[in-house]
Structure 1
Amino acid sequence: MLRDGVAALACCDEVGRGALSGPVTIGAVLVTAATRTAPQGVRDSKLLTPDARRRLAPRIERWAAAHAVGHASPAEIDTFGIMTAMRLAGERALRALAVQADAVLLDGNHDYLSPPDQDVLFGGLPETTHAVGAAPWALPRVVTMIKADLRCAAVAAASILAKTARDEIMVELAADHPEYGWAENKGYAAPEHIDALARLGPTPHHRTSWRLPGLAPPLGGADSVADTHAVASARALESPA
């Protein structure tokens, strides 16, 4: 896309979509025609060990023209649904970039950033989810690419930043809730996590609108049925490692 006249391209990837607890997180890495080759070892975060990701993260931050990470909380996922929460996390990441992007490249084949109504400001999100006094914001052009995390180094770099940031959050939360094993499983549906849910029930950090394993079906929620399918599909795509 940089060869097509795009001056600043923001490459994004998400982590945590299929987790049972914790935020959904979007990483954004902005590159320009002047950006050099990515640091050696950068690849899709799921193919790297935690130590490798932690070593690469500061190198990526120095390499990128701009970088940022955005989160949407479990409460926001429960209130608005996972897809709207991803849009919210993505907008937070893009707004936080030190350089304005001219276009955005997303991994996959679904544009979760663009609102249903392209003329709606704030990415179609309820204004209550934005900082007080936040200026209206126009979403740059969005392009999707299947397997972009394998084909584009900047998307892979974004996945590393997102995974590293979200893992740090889950390790911190694990200190107050050690029974769920979040330091190891990062909020995904690992056996010790499911066992703790059945014994202890959910915490404030769980997505309680979802059909959580070991618990009765939720009484409601933004899109709990759709989120159940998201959990199943994401298990095959994401690893807590």
Structure 2
Amino acid sequence: MTTKAPTLRFERSFVEAGHKLVAGADEVGRGALAGPVSVGMVAIDATSAKQIRGVRDSKLLTPADRVALVPKIQKWALAYGVGHASAAEIDALGLMAAMRLAGARAWGQVVATARPDIVILDGNHDWLSAGEPSLFDDAAQPGCDAPVLTRIKADLQCLSVAAASVLAKVERDAMMTGYATDYPEYAWEINKGYATAAHRAALLGVGPSDLHRRSWRLTPEQPLMPAVDIAN
């Protein structure tokens, strides 16, 4: 797919209002049947950051291209982080709260180096802003307390958000590939936990593992989700 490269135009639009340190955030794994939901966050100095070549929304890149971009993004960013919430945490908290927990973990990694003035979040719903700490297992980890601005298709338009999606995708994919060694029947090294036809067939054959989201519809009694494109 050919698309225009994301730029820093939107990030730089906040400088005049005094927001020098701008972060982009995106999630991956939201629609998977197994494994964590993961949130990437990349902070930049919007007054001095340069364009970084090759970065796109992670869904538009090959696995090899994503992996090759990780050290470039890490060198380019002022600060970065990837946080995860496990399948068990998704079951216990619900998906939105688990995404916020993963975001809080990413935020904690970022602010250890630099505190963003504002965060651009892909989508139209702010699930990132700090909620009640009691929702989280690690209540001592505060959530994102910077202003959060949602933007539809920010992962296609904003370079910091696209970079965040790449970091999150690569780290989550590596986790699922590692899990695949102990759970070969699900072929997670290929589908990364998404509801492909092969993954659904394995669930019907052997049932869910302890890394599946058991609150989701996984069994014949709870019809499986439709097969999905695993690129995301």
The alpha carbon displacement at 1:128 in A equals 5.0
Given residue 215 of structure 2, which amino acid in structure 1 is its aligned partner?
A: S
In the alignment, which of 11, 15, 24 is matched to residue 11 of structure 1? 24
Moved >6 Å (runs of 4+):
none
The alpha carbon displacement at 1:124 in A equals 1.9
The alpha carbon displacement at 1:80 in A equals 0.6
| Matched position secondary structure for 1:113 | coil
Q: Does 1:151 align with 2:154?
A: no
In the alignment, which of 205, 208, 212 is matched to residue 206 of structure 1? 212
In the alignment, which of 171, 176, 182 is matched to residue 176 of structure 1? 182
Decide whether the 8 Å contact of 1:201 with 1:215 is kept in 2: no
What residue number does 1:123 align with? 131
Q: Structure 2: which 5+ runs fail to align?
A: 1-13
Q: Distance in 2 between matches of 1:160 and 1:70?
A: 13
What residue number does 1:113 align with? 128
- TM-score for both structures, normalised by structure 2: 0.87
Given residue 143 of structure 1, which amino acid in structure 2 is its aligned partner?
A: L
Aligned-residue identity in percent: 50
- 1:210–1:137 CA distance, 2 compared to 1 (3 A): closer
The alpha carbon displacement at 1:137 in A equals 5.6
What residue number does 1:139 align with? 145
The alpha carbon displacement at 1:35 in A equals 3.9
Decide whether the 8 Å contact of 1:10 with 1:29 is kept in 2: yes
Q: Distance in 2 between matches of 1:128 and 1:110?
A: 20
Q: Distance in 2 between matches of 1:137 and 1:216?
A: 37
- 1:174–1:43 CA distance, 2 compared to 1 (3 A): same
What residue number does 2:6 align with? none
* Per-residue deviation, residues 172-211 of structure 1 (Å, max 9, x unmatched): 0001011101001000011110011001000010000011
Decide whether the 8 Å contact of 1:29 with 1:68 is kept in 2: yes
Q: Does 1:217 align with 2:208?
A: no
What residue number does 2:9 align with? none
* Per-residue deviation, residues 25-47 of structure 1 (Å, max 9, x unmatched): 00000011344223210010000
Q: Structure 1: which 5+ runs fail to align?
A: 115-121, 219-227
Q: Does 1:239 align with 2:230?
A: yes
| Matched position secondary structure for 1:123 | coil
Aligned residue-pair number: 217
